[in-house]
Amino acid sequence: MSSRRSRSRQSGSSRITRITEEQISDLVSKLQDLLPEAHLQSNARVPSARVLQETCNYIRSLHQEVDDLSERLSELLATSDMSSAQAAVIRSLLM
């Protein structure tokens, strides 16, 4: 009985690891699709370490871009007053 249980447990865990590896590769390919295609060819199968590295670099560059944009926005808002800024934001809402 115990041997049967242990055998089923072993096969169960290997089934689980197989499923999670599939999930992981699926998620990695989704990440790869999100990344800018300049770095990777989306058709080729890229090793996951590379995808993770590119993701980190991309997140870092996006953070930097948010930083630059908020700096630009703060410079713009320094010159114009708030009401016109709000009007501009509302206008972009309607677009």
Burial class (CB in 10 A: 0-12, 13-18, 19+), 58: middle
Q: Rounded distance, CA 3 to CA 77, Å?
A: 73
Task: Tell me whether residue 38 or residue 75 sits nearer to another protein (CB atom).
Answer: 75
Minimum distance, C-beta of residue 11 to another protein, in the bound complex (Å): 15
For residue 39, how many other CB atoms are within 10 A of its CB? 14
Task: Tell me whether residue 1 or residue 13 sits nearer to another protein (CB atom).
Answer: 13
Minimum distance, C-beta of residue 81 to another protein, in the bound complex (Å): 8
Quick one: how many helices (H) and strands (E) in the chain? Answer: 3, 0
Minimum distance, C-beta of residue 87 to another protein, in the bound complex (Å): 6
Helix (H, G, I), strand (E, B) or coil at 54: helix
Q: Rounded distance, CA 8 to CA 87, Å?
A: 66
Task: Tell me whether residue 26 or residue 41 sits nearer to another protein (CB atom).
Answer: 26
Point out which residues bind another protein (CB under 8 A). Answer: 13, 17, 20, 23-24, 27-28, 30-31, 34-35, 47-49, 52-53, 55-56, 58-60, 62-63, 65-67, 69-78, 80, 82, 84-93, 95
